[in-house]
Structure 1
Amino acid sequence: MTDKDKPPSEDPRADARGRLRTARLLAAVTGLAGFVLAVLIPLLPVTQTTVHLNWPQNSSLNPISAPAVGYQPISLDATIPCSAIADLAERDGTSVALSTAPASAGEDAHARALFVTVDDGSVQVRTRNHLVVQAPVDAVAAPGSCSGLHIDSNPERTVGTFTGMTNADGAPLSGTVSGDNRPQIVGVYTDMTGAAPQGLQFSAEIDSRYSTTPTLLKGLAMIFAVLLTISSLVALSRFDAVDGRKHRRFLPSRWWHFDFKDALVIGVLVVWHFIGANTADDGYIMTMARAAEHSGYMSNYYRWFAAPEAPFGMSYYMFTALSHISTASPLLRLPALIAGILSWMVISREVIPRLGRLARRRNLVTWTAGLVFLAFWMPFNNGMRPEPYIALGALLTWCSVERAIATRRVLPIAAALLIAAFTLSVGPTGTICIAALIAGSRPMLQIIIGRAKQVGWLATLGPLLASGTVVLVLVFGDTTLKSVLQATNMKTDLGPSEEWYMEYLRYEALMTFSPDGSVARRFAVFSMLLGLIVCAAMLYRKRAIPGVALGPSRRIVGITAMSLALMMFNPTKWSHHFGVYAGLAGALAALTTLAILSSALRSGRNRALFFAALMFVMSISFESSNSWWYVSNYGIPWGGEKPRLAGITFADVFIALTVIALLVALYLHYREPYILAARKRGEKPRTRRLLRGRLDGLLAAPLTVTAAFMVLIELLSMAAGMAIQYPGYTVGKGNLRALTGNPCAQGDQILVEPDANAGMLTPIGAAPNDALGGFINENFGPNGIPTDLTSDKEYVQPGVVGTGEQSNTKSNSAGTGGGLIEDPGVNGSLARLPFGLDPDTTPVLGSFHTADQPISHAVSSWYQLPPRADEQLLVISAAGRINPANFQVLFGTQNPDGSVTPVGSPIAMMDTGPDPSWRNLRLPMERAPQGATAVQILAYDAAPALNEWLAFTPPRIAKLETMQAYVGSTTPVLLDWAVALAFPCLRPFKHLDGIAEIPKFRVLPDRGLAVSSTNTWQDAYGGGPLGWTGLLLTAETVPAYQNHDWGRDWGSLEKFSLRVPDSTVAELDLGTATRSGFWSPGPIRHGWG
C-alpha cells in the first residue's frame, strides 16, 4: 500500500504533537551542533604558506630585495666564510659582509637591521645597533684560525660565533644579545664581489602567520555550522507556532507604498551619493580591499605590520568583490547608499508605526525623522567606513526585538541575535546592537522561559546559541584564534588605544575647528543628544504620553543612552564613529516630535525652552567651519572659516535667538499662574487663543525646520563647490565623470612634469649661467642658500584624525630639504637642486649670508617664451621666504632689434609653500598680458633677519601630462591612505606571504594632512610601509599641479629609486604547514622607529 492509499489520521492532534516532537528534536540537535561547530571554528587547523628567504640566489652575490611587511623574520640563520671576510679587509673604509638593509639608509638601517661589517681592523656583528660579537680582522684572516662566522637570531636571543676561534679563557669566541633583537629585513646586501664563496649561506623564515587557508576539516565544519544553524531556525519557526497563531508577514504591504516623503529622502541620498563629501578612511579601506585579493586576507595595509582586521572589518570584503567590476567611487560606495535607503525604509515603515497611533497620524513626525536622519547620514555615512551598516544593523536589531515582544515568539529573538552578531563583526561600534538586546532583555527572557516550558530548554536555546555564534564562520574562516589575539594585543599596545574614561576625546575631536568637528557633524550629534534629553524627560515621568506606545519608545531612548555608554569601551576615539547613530537619531527625532506635540499645548514656557536649546545647538554647530574631508572641501563656501553673511556669523544670530527664546520662556514662567487662574475661571488665555487651529501642527516644527536648513546648507555647499571650482576637480565632478566612463577622478586632473629640465626657457642675449642676475645682481650668489631647508613646523589641532594631541611637525617633500653636491653646477653652485633639476644646466642664485644679511636685489635677463598655447604653466623652482612683494615676474614683448619692451605690471606667482623648502612657484599663462613673448624675474630681499632669504632657478614652461598617463594603471604605487579613493585607477602595491611588492611611486595628500595623518600613521613605529620604504628606497618629488586650480596644495608625487640599483627581487622558497588554532610562530615585536 502506498502513502497515498493510507487513510488520514484519526487524531489530527496526535499528528501535530508528532510534528512538534520532530521540530523540537531537530531544533535541539541542529542548534547545539551548529553552536559547537561555530565555537570550534577559531580552534580548527589551517594550512599556512611557509616562506623562507635564502641567499645567495642562483649562485650569485647579487643583492636581493625582499621587504618584509612584518619587519622581522621568525628566525634567521647565516654563515659567512672567514676567507670572504678577510678579502673585504683588504679594502679601504668600511665594508659590509652582510646586511639586511642597505647601508646607505644611514642611522635608521643600523638601528633596525643586521650588519656584519669590516672596519678599523675589526669584524663586528650588530643587530639593531646591539653589538653581538666582534673579533680582530687579523685573527679572522689568519690561516686555519677561523672557518666561518655563524649568526642565529630568534625571539629569545641573537648569537654570533666565530667558528674555530677562542677567546682568552679558551672558550669559543661567541657573543649573545638576550631578548628579542631580531633584525628588520628589506633584503640581503653585501660588498662582496665575484662568485659566491663556498659556505656562504643566509636563511630567514619570513613571518607569514596570516597567509593561511582553511583545511578540509575546517572547511567542512564551516559548511555544516551554517547549514545546521539554518536548519535549527527552520525548526524553531515550526514549534514557534504552538500558540496557534499564524506567522506574520515578513514585510508588511505598507513597505512598498511610497509617498513624497520617501521620494525626498531617497532622492537626497542619491544626489548626495554623487555630489556629497566622502569620509576620512575611504581610501584606507579601498586599498585594504584591493590588496586583500592578492594577499588572501583583509590586512590593515597601512599600519600594524599588515595584521588582519579580524575580528572586525567583515564588510570590507564587499569592496573587494566590487573592485573586480570597477574601482570608481560611485560603485564602491554603492553599499552605503543602499544601507541609507534601507535605514530610511526601516525608520518610516517599522520604527515610526511602533511608536503609537499619534506617530502614525501626524505627518510632521515622519518629516522630522526623515530630515534629521538625512542631517546625520550626510556628514558621516557617505563613504566606505562601517558606520552605515552598523546604523542599519542597530535598527534591524531593535525591530527584531520589538517584533519578538509584540508576537511573543522566539524566532525574532534569534534574528536579533544573528543581526547583532554580524553587525558587531563589521566594527567594534557594533556594540550598539548589544544595547538593543539589553533594552529588550527582560520581556525577551520571559518569552524564552515561556517557550522553554512548552517545548524544552534545549530546543529553545539551541537555535539561539547557533544564531549568536555562526558569525565566527565569517570571522575565523581563514585564520586562527591565536593569530587574532596576538594581532589584537599588538594593535592595543601600539595604539591608538584609549581607556574607557578617555571617552571625552571623541567629543574633543567633535569640538575641533576641522572636518572632524564641522558644522554638519556638530549639529547631527548635538541635536540627537538634545532629543535624547527631551525624550528621556518625557517618557520616564510617571504618566504616559497620550497616543505614544510607552514600551517601544522607552526602549529607543534606552538603546541610545546605553550605546553612548558602550561606545566608551571602543579603544579609538574618532568623531566619525558617531555615524552609527544615524538611524537611532531619526527615530529619536520622531519621538522628540511626539513628546512636544503631546505637551506643547499645555506649556508655552516648555516650547520656548526647547526652541532656546535648539538654537543653542545651532550656535555651537556654527562656531565651527563648513569643512569637509580632503578633496571634498574643494571650493566649498566657508570651507575653512565660520559661516557668515554680510560680515555677520551664523553663530551670532543663533546665540541671539537663544537669548530671546530664554527671555520669552522667563516671561511665560512668571505668567503661568495667571494662565492657570484664567483656566479655572473657564476663560481661554490670550496665549492659548493664539496657538489654536492649524498652528497646533507647527508646535514641534523647530527641529524639523533646523534639520531641513542643515540638509539644504549641505546640499547647496557641495553644489556651490562644484560651480566655484569648475572646470577644476571636485568630488562631484569626479563621480559624474565616472558615470560617463572616466573613473580615474583626480588622477586625470593632476598634471605632472616628468622632466623639469625639458621646459627651461632660453635667455635672450645672455649666457644661461649668467642670466639669473643678468640685469642686476646685488648680493645674490650661486651659494647663497642654506644647506638645511627643512620646512617650517605645521600646526596640527588636537583631535585631528591621525594625531593624539596638539603638535607642530616638520615635514618635507622628498628632495626639497636642501643639501650639497660634490661637483659645482653650471654657475658654480654646490646646492643640491630639487625636482630632478640638472645642476650642469640649471643655475641658481640665493640671498642667504651666514653673517649680516645685506639688502639683496636681482633682476634677471629676459627669457624667451614659446608660442602661446592653451593651459601653459610658467614655473620657477624657488626656496626661502617668498611673498608677493619680494618675488615677481615681469612680461615683455621682444622687438625686432632684440630688445624687450615691458608689458603690464609685475605679477606675483602662486606659492603653495612650505617655507623655506624648495617648491615650484607657478603662474598660468592665461594671466600673462596678451602678446607677451618674454619674461623676467624680479627678486628683492630687504629683510635683515638671517632666516629671511630667497633663492630661485630659471623660469620654465612646464611640459605636462596627467598623472594617470604618467604613472599608469599597472605600476605599483604607495598611495597614502588619505588619497587612494581620489586616485582609483592607480594600483596599490601588493603584498603576499609576508613580502611586499616594491612600489615605484608614492602619492601624498596636502602637507597639512600628510603631517597630521599619513606620515605618522604609516611610519615605522606603527608598523606601516614607510618603515621599510625608507630603508629600501630613495625618493624624489616629481612636480605636479592641480589642473584649473593651480594655486592649490593638492599633495605631491614622489618617484622611488632603489638604494642599491643592481638589487633584484628575491625568489622565495614556499611550502605549507598545518597549524592549529593555538599555534604561534612567536611574538610580534613592535615599537620600531
Structure 2
Amino acid sequence: MSSTASSEDSETRSTSTAPRGRWHNARVLAAVLGFLGAGLALISGLLPVNQNNAEINWAPGEDFTSVTAPLVSGRAIDLDINIPCDAAAEADEDTVLLSTLPESSPGRSADGLMVVRGRNADGESSLEVIVRNLTLVSVPVDALRSEACDTIHISATPDGVVGDAGEATFTSGESAGEPITGSFGGDMRPQVVGLFTDLSPSTAPEGLSGMTAHVTVDSRYSSSPTFIKLLAMIVGVAATIGSLYYLRQLDLKDGRHHVRIMPRQRRGITTLDGIVAGVLGIWHLVGANTSDDGYLLTMARSAGPSGYMANYFRWLGSPESPVGWYYEILKLMTHVSTASVWMRLPTLLCGLATWWILTREVIPRLGRLARTWPVPEWAGAAVFLAFWMAFNNGLRPEPVIALGALVTFILIERSIATRRLLPAYLAVVVAAFSIGTGPTALICVAILLAGTRIVFKTMRERAATFGWAPVLGPFFAAGFLLLFTVFADQTLASVATASRIRTELGPSLPWYGEKERWVSLFSVGEDGGMSRRFPMLLMLLSVGIVALALLRHRRIPEVAAGPARRLVGIVLGSLGMLAFTPTKWTHHFGIFAGIGAAVAVAAVLSLRPKVVGGPRNAWLVGAAISAVTALATATDNVWWYVSNYGMPFGESFPAIGGVQINYLAFGVTLICLLMALLTHTEILPPRESWPAWMRPTGRPSWVRLPGFAHRIAAWFGVVVPEGSAGKQDAETDETADTTGKPAEKKALERSHPRRMGMPATAFTAIAFLLVATNLASALVAVFDRSPGYTVGRSNARALVGNPCSLADAVLVEENSNDGVLQPVGTSVANSLGAGERTGFAPNGIPEQIPVDTTESDSSSTLGGFEADATGDPGVDAGTTGGQGEETINGSTASLPFDLDPAETPVLGSYRRGPQSQARLQSGWYELPGRTPLRPLLVVAAAGWISAGDLEVQYGRAGKVGTEGPTNFEVEGSLPLIDVGPAPTWRNLRVPLESIPDDAEVVRIVARDNNLAPDWWMAVTPPRNPTLRTLQDIVGSETPVLADWIVALAFPCQRPFVHNDGIAEIPRYRILADRESSTMANWWQSAKAGGPLLWIEQTTKPVTIPTYLNHDWGRDWGSLQRLDPLDPEAVPAQIDRSQSLRSGLWSPGEMVG
C-alpha cells in the first residue's frame, strides 16, 4: 500500500454520540465571539482617531524674515493671504511681496503663488497675483490707493482659488465699475515650501509688515487611535481568539481528544540542518542584499519622528497601510542599531524557521519515502538555498511571506488530515497576516484555494451538526483579524486616499503586464542575473516533472498524491495570481523559497527510474536539466549595487577556460536530445541487450570503487548499496539478461525503490553547484578585494563596532581648490598652455554639454513600468556646463565641483565649423610631498576621452639653474582613470603610489585627433586634494537624503524626517552610480510625489568630488551638497493641535 501524506491520515475518525446539548455553550460562544470580532475588525477603519493638526500663521514682522516649511503633500489644505492695499501700492516695482516658492526655484511661477508689484499686460503699474503661471487678479495702483481697497485677499482651497481687492472696482476700460476679483475653479492650489518675500526693512513701505498668510498643512496621515478605538481593537482581538478556542471545542466532537493542532516532532538535528544553517549564516555576513533594503531601512528609521510608517520616497508620504505591519518590527530594531548585519536578523530567523518547517512538516507529508530517504531532502535544501541567497537576504517581506506560505500549507494539510477546522482557520489567519506584509502573499490565497474543496466539506459537516453560525463566525473573525493592524493608527478615508495615490502615480500595471516581470528575469542585469534565473527555472522544471509524472501515473509511486497535486496547483496558481500585483519586480519570486523547495523534493522523487520509465525519458529529462542550465547561465553573475563589487563574472557571462558555460550546457542539451531520438527510434539498442559491464545498475565488475566512494554513490542511488547486493543479485540475477521477463524487471525495481538514476543526480548536483557558486563568489569577493569595500567586509567591521559601511570607504574632497598643484616657471593663468597648445582654447567648451543617454539604460523597465526616458539621466549636478564667472585665463565656461574661477584655468578643443586635430602639453606642476591624506592626482576633465588621449607625464629635474630647475626630464607617463560619464565634467584620477618616489613634477598631455564635430575634450590643472571619509564630512547628525538604492550602505547618516506633513530640508544627498541614480531620480521625482518635489524647489545641488578607497576606478555614486536657495530663510513656526476625526473624515483630495 502506498504511503500517505502523514501518520494522521490513517487515524480512525469516530463520531461522538453525546447529546447535542452538550456542545450548546461552545456553539453559541464560537458564533457570538466570532461575529463580534469580525464586526469590530470591519468597523475599525470607521472608529474615531486623534488627528494632529499643523498650521502656519506668518507675518513678516519688522525684519521681513522668510520662512521654510516644505509640505510633503506639495499643496496645503487651504491657503489664505491678506495684504494691505495702501502699503502694497507704495512697494517698488518688480518686487515679490509674497511667494510660496523661493527665488531661483525652478517652479516659482509654474507651481507656486506669487504676489508681485509690477505691471499688467497693458503696461500699467499694478499688483499681480499669479497662481501656477496664470494671473488670478491684477489690481491697478490707482485701485490700490482707493478707499474701497482695504486688503488684497487670496484664498486657495481644493474647490478653487479666489482673489479680490475688497470693494474696489475697475475705473476704466471695458470692466469699469466691476469689482476687482478673480477666481479659478477646480483644484489650483499652489505648491508650498514656505513663505518668501523680497522685501527687507530698508525697502519695505510702511504698513507691509501687516500682511499675513495662513497655511493649513495636510497632515491627514498623522493620527493616533482614541481610547474607544484601542478598546474596540483589544476586544476584537480577544473575541477572535475566544471564537477560535470554542471552535476547537467543537472540533473535539469527533471524540479524538489526543489529536494535536500540529503533530509531535521526534526528529533531531541532522548534518543537513547544520549545512543549511551554516550556509544561511555565512550568506548573512557575506552575501548580496536586495534592492529595496535601503528603502525599507529609511522608512523604518523615519517612522518614529513621522508618527506613522510613511512611504518615504514616493506617493506624497502616504502610509504603507493596508500592508506593512512587518515594517513596524524593523522600526523597533532601529532603536538598537541600523547596521545591515543587525537589521537583517529577522530574515535569517525566517530562513531557519522556513527550513525547519520544510523538513519537519512539509517534506514528511509527501510520503514515507520522502521521510526516510535523505536524497530528495538534499535536493530541496539546494533549491531552498538557491532561492534564499538570490532573493531573500535583505529587508524585503518576501522571507516572511515564504515562511507564511509554508505555515499556511502545513495548517491546511493538517486540517485535511485530521478533518478539523481550527488548523484551517489558523491558516486563514496566517495567510491574512502574510498578505499584510505585501501583495505577493497572494501565494497564500492559492494555498487556501488548493485545500478549499476538502476543508469546505468539513465545514458542511460541522454546520450539519452545529449550524452555520458557529462555523462562519470564527472564519470571518480569522479572515478580518488583519484589519486591526491595517487601521491601527489610520482611518478608512486615509487608507483609501493612499491607495488611490499609488494607483494614480504608479507603477500600477494591469494583469496583462505580467510579461514584464519575465522580460526582466530574462534580461541581462540585476533583475535577470544568473542567481535569480536558476532557482526559478529549477522550480518550473520541478513543476513540469511532477505534473507529467502525475499525468502519466495518476499518482507517483510511494509519494502521497494529495500533497503532490496541491503543490503543483499552488505554484501554478501563485504564478497566475502574481499577475494581479501592481508591480512586476523579479524580487517577488522570493516567495517561492519554501514551496519551490518542496516541489523540488517531489520532482526528485518523480525522477526515480521506476517513475521516469525508459532511457528515452531519462535522456529527455537530462536535456531539460541542461537546457535550464544553459538559460540560467546566459547572463552575468550580477548582484545588486555594492553587492556586485568583486563578484566573479559580475559583468560577463560565466565561463570555463574562456568558453561560456551556456554554450557547454546547450551542447549537452543537444547530445541528450540526440540520445533520446536514437533510443526512441531504437537505433540505439535497449539497455537490456547491453553487455553486462555496460549496465548502469549494480556494481560493475570492472569498477572497484573505494568503500567510502561506493557508499556515497549508493546513497545517491547511482549504484546499488553493498549491503543489499548479495541478496538482491541472488534473487534477480542482476547480471542475467532480463529481456522479456517483466516479473524479474519489476522485482528489480521493487528491490531498489531508492535508486535516483542520473536525471535526479544531475538535478541535485546542478542545484548544489549553484549554491556553491553563489557562496564561493561572495567569499572570493571579500578576500580578493581586501582591503577594498565589499558587503562581507562591511558586515565584519560592523560586528567589531564599525557600522558605518560605505561611509567609511568613500573619500571626499574637503575643498576642491585646496591641493591644486603649483606651476613651475609660469603663472597659474598660463600654466595649462605653457608647453604646446594647438587647437585648445579657453572657450573651447560647448555652452551646454549634451548628456549621452546611451551610457545609461534610461528606458529600462522598473517592475514593468517604463521610466520616463526624458527624465533626469542621472548626471552629477553642475557637470553639464553652462556659462559662469570668467576664469583666470579668460574662459566664460562654468566650472564644476566648486572650482574657483579666479584660480582655475581651463582649456578645451571644441570648435564650430571646420575641424582639425588638437594637442595640448601643459607646463610642469610641482608634486607635493606624499601623505596618506592625499593619495590621488586628480584632473577635472570633460568631453570624449579615449584610451591614450589624456595622460600625465612625470619627471624630475634635468638641468638646474641658480633659481631652481629650468628643464625637466620625462621619466614616464600614466593614463588617467576615467569612471565617466562622458562627456560631462568628471574627475579623472591616478593614485600617487603609481608615480615613482623620485618624480618631482607632472604635466598633462592631451590629444584630440578625432575630427567628428561633437568630439572634443577640456581639462583643468591637476590637483592633489586632501581626502576625508564621507562619515567625517557628513557625520551622523546632519539631515541627509540618501537615495533608496544606497541607504542600506550608509546606516550612520541621518535621514531627513517629516512630521505632521512638514519636511526637514536635507543638507546633503547621496546618490548611487549613474545608471542606478537615473532610476532613483525617476522614482523619487516630483511627478511621483517623491522628496525631490520640494528638495528641488528649496535647494541647489553642488557635486562634491568623491572616490572609493582602494578601488579608484569604481563609480560608486556621488555626494551632493544641497545649498538653500534662500539662505536667509528660517524654519517656520508651526502651530500644532489635535482634533477628533471620524474614520470617514477627509480634508479633500490630495493632489497626485
TM-score of Structure 1 vs Structure 2, range by shorter chain? over 0.9
How far apart are the structure 1 equivalents of 2:796 and 2:196? Answer: 49
Give, as a single letter, the amino acid of the residue that structure 1 aligns with 2:666.
I
The DSSP-based 3-state class of the residue aligned with 1:763 is coil
Displacement after TM superposition at 1:171 (Å)? 2.6
Identify the residue that residue 1045 of structure 1 maps to in structure 2.
1111
- Alignment-mate amino acid for residue 575 of structure 2: L
Q: Equivalent residue for 1:826?
A: 888
Note the C-alpha offset of 1:586. Answer: 0.2
Q: Residues 601 and 116 (structure 1 numbering): CA distance in 2 closer, same or farther, change over 3 Å?
A: closer
**1:454-533 aligned within 5 A:** 454-533=465-544
Between the aligned partners of 2:391 and 2:281, the Cα distance in structure 1 is 15
**Following TM superposition, by how much is the alpha carbon of 1:779 offset from its aligned partner in structure 2, in angstroms?**
3.1
- Does residue 1069 (structure 1) correspond to residue 1135 (structure 2)? The answer is yes
| 8 Å Cα contact 1:802/1:1017 also seen in 2 | no
Q: Distance in 1 between matches of 2:779 and 2:455?
A: 48
Q: Which moved more, 1:267-276 or 1:888-897?
A: 888-897
Q: Distance in 2 between matches of 1:766 and 1:692?
A: 94
Summarize the alignment of residues 280-429 of structure 1 with structure 2, pairs less than 5 Å apart.
280-429=291-440
Task: After TM superposition, give the deviation of residue 234 of structure 1 in Å.
Answer: 2.1
Which residue number corresponds to residue 48 of structure 1? 51
Distance 1:243 1:524 in 2: 43
- CA–CA distance in structure 1, aligned partners of residues 1053 and 1032 of structure 2: 10
Q: Secondary structure at the match of 2:321?
A: coil
Q: Any idea what the Cα deviations from partners look like across 1:602-638, whole Å, max 9, x if unmatched?
A: 3221111111111111111111111000101111111
Length-normalised TM-score, structure 1: 0.95
How far does residue 675 in structure 1 lie from its aligned partner after superposition?
7.3
Q: For residues 70-108 of structure 1, give each alpha carbon's deviation from its aligned partner in whole angstroms, at most 9, with x where no partner exists.
A: 0001111111122332233x34xx3212111013113x2
Aligned residue identity for 1:764: V
Q: In structure 2, what residue type is equivalent to 1:104?
A: S
* Farther off after superposition, 250-259 or 771-780: 250-259
- The CA RMSD measured in Å over matched residues stands at 2.4
Matched, 1:155 2:158: yes
In structure 1, the partner of 2:780 is: 720
Which of the residues 433, 440, 444 maps onto 2:455?
A: 444
The answer on 1:555 being equivalent to 2:566 is: yes
Question: Displacement, 1:882?
Answer: 1.8
- Give the direction of change, closer, same or farther, for the CA distance of 1:988–1:198 in structure 2 (3 Å limit): closer
Q: Is the 8 A contact 1:133 1:174 kept in 2?
A: yes
CA offset at residue 243 of structure 1? 1.5
Q: Deviations over 1:850-888 (max 9, x none)?
A: 333333222222111111234611111111112332211
Shift of residue 246, structure 1, vs aligned partner = 2.6
Q: Which residue of 2 aligns with 1:5?
A: none
Q: Is the 8 A contact 1:761 1:957 kept in 2?
A: yes
Q: Cα offset for 1:142?
A: 3.2
SS at match of 1:204: strand
Say yes or no: does 1:883 pair with 2:946: yes
The match for 1:777 among 805, 823, 837 is: 837
Which amino acid letter does the alignment assign opposite residue 948 of structure 2? A
**Which residue does the alignment assign to 2:708?**
none
Name 1:710's counterpart in structure 2.
Answer: 770
Instruction: Give the letter for the 1:817 counterpart.
Output: T
Question: Structure 2 CA distance, aligned partners of 1:790 and 1:148?
Answer: 49
Aligned partner of residue 110 in structure 1, secondary structure: coil
Relative distance call for 1:128 and 1:361 in structure 2 (3 A) is same
SS of equivalent residue, structure 1 residue 937: strand
- In 1, distance between residues paired with 2:548 and 2:1114? 50
Q: Could you say if the C-alpha distance between residues 15 and 596 of structure 1 is closer, same or farther in structure 2, counting changes exceeding 3 Å? A: closer
Choose the corresponding residue for 2:137, options 133, 140, 143: 133
Separation in 1, partners of 2:852, 2:578: 38
Q: Which moved more, 1:766-775 or 1:991-1000?
A: 766-775
Do the aligned partners of residues 554 and 190 (structure 1) sit closer, same or farther apart at CA in structure 2, a change above 3 Å counting?
Answer: same
Q: Secondary structure at the match of 2:627?
A: helix
CA distance in 2, matches of 1:354, 1:114: 67
1:737 matches 2:797: yes
| Counterparts of 2:1083 and 2:867, CA distance in 1 | 14
Say if 1:212 and 1:64 are closer, same or farther in 2 by CA, change over 3 A.
same
Q: Cα deviation per residue 1:491-527 (whole Å; 9 max; x = unaligned)?
A: 1111111111111111011111101011111111111
Cα distance between partner residues in 2 of 1:605 and 1:254: 41
Secondary structure in structure 2 of the residue aligned to 1:696: coil
- Counterpart amino acid of 1:134? S
Q: Which residue of 1007, 1022, 1025 maps to 2:1074? A: 1007
Q: Which residues of 2 match residues 267-282 of structure 1 at below 5 A?
A: 267-282=278-293
- 1:4-403 equivalent positions in 2, closer than 5 A: 20-56=23-59, 60-88=63-91, 90-91=92-93, 94-106=94-106, 108-120=107-119, 121-136=125-140, 138-144=141-147, 146-167=149-170, 168-194=175-201, 197=208, 199-249=210-260, 252-254=263-265, 257-403=268-414
TM-score (norm 2): 0.89
Structure 1 range deviating more: 763-772 or 208-217? 763-772
CA distance in 2, matches of 1:667, 1:800: 46
1:597 is matched with which residue?
608
Cα distance in 2 for partners of 1:1033, 1:130 equals 25
Q: Deviations over 1:118-144 (max 9, x none)?
A: 3333432222212212233x3344343
Residues 537-592 of structure 1: CA deviation (Å, up to 9, x unaligned): 22245632221111111111111111111111111111111111111110100111
Amino acid aligned to 2:445: I
Conservation of the 8 A alpha-carbon contact between 2:520 and 2:861? yes
Cα shift at 1:687: 15
Deviations 1:970-1001 (A, max 9, x none): 10000101000011110100010001011000
1:26 aligned partner, one-letter code: L
Q: Partners in 2 of 1:1000 and 1:19 — Cα distance?
A: 71
Aligned to 1:840: 902
Residues 519/14 of structure 1: CA separation in 2 closer, same or farther (3 Å cut): closer
Query: Does the C-alpha gap of structure 1 residues 255 and 975 become closer, same or farther in structure 2, counting only changes over 3 Å?
Result: farther
Counterpart amino acid of residue 1008 in structure 2: D
Moved more, 304-313 or 855-864: 855-864
Paired with 2:942 and 2:1131, the residues of 1 have a C-alpha distance of 38
Report the secondary structure of 2:546's partner residue: helix
- Tell me which residue corresponds to 2:1147: 1081
The answer as to 2:826 corresponding to 1:766 is yes
How big is each residue's C-alpha offset from its partner over 1:882-937, in whole Å with a ceiling of 9 and x where there is no partner? Answer: 23322110111236543253353221111111122111111111111231121111
Residues 166 and 255 from structure 1, CA distance in 2 versus in 1: closer, same or farther, beyond 3 angstroms? farther
Answer yes or no: is the 8 Å Cα contact 1:880–1:915 preserved in 2.
yes
Q: Is the 8 A contact 2:606 2:612 kept in 1?
A: no
Q: Match of 1:1060?
A: 1126
Farther off after superposition, 886-895 or 502-511: 886-895
Q: Rate the CA distance shift 1:656–1:417 in 2: closer, same or farther, 3 A.
A: same
Other-structure match for 1:8: none
Compared with structure 1, are the counterparts of its residues 230 and 688 closer, same or farther at alpha carbon in structure 2 (3 Å cutoff)? closer
Aligned equivalents of 1:632 and 1:1045: distance in 2? 14
Secondary structure, in 3 states, of the residue corresponding to 2:990? strand
Deviation (angstroms), 1:186: 0.6
- Going from structure 1 to structure 2, the CA distance change for 1:813 and 1:17 (only over 3 Å counts) comes to same
- SS across alignment from 1:477: coil
Distance 2:828 2:139 in 1: 56
In structure 1, C-alpha distance between the alignment counterparts of 2:129 and 2:821, rounded to whole Å:
53
Q: 1:690 to 1:541 in 2, by over 3 A?
A: closer
For the pair 1:757 / 2:817, whether they are aligned, the reply is yes
Aligned equivalents of 1:191 and 1:807: distance in 2?
37
1:957 aligns with 2:1024: yes
Q: Distance in 2 between matches of 1:989 and 1:296?
A: 14
For 2:712, the equivalent position in structure 1 comes to none
Kept in 1, the 8 Å contact 2:883–2:892? The answer is yes
Which consecutive unaligned segments of at least 5 residues does structure 1 have?
1-12
Give % identity: 43
State whether residues 78 and 151 of structure 1, in contact with CA within 8 Å, keep that contact through their aligned partners in structure 2: yes
Q: Is the 8 A contact 2:679 2:686 kept in 1?
A: no
Structure 1 contact 516–800 (Cα < 8 Å) conserved: no
| Residue 681 (structure 1) shift | 2.7
Per-residue CA deviations over 1:371-406 (Å, capped at 9, x if unaligned) read 011111111111011111111111100100000111
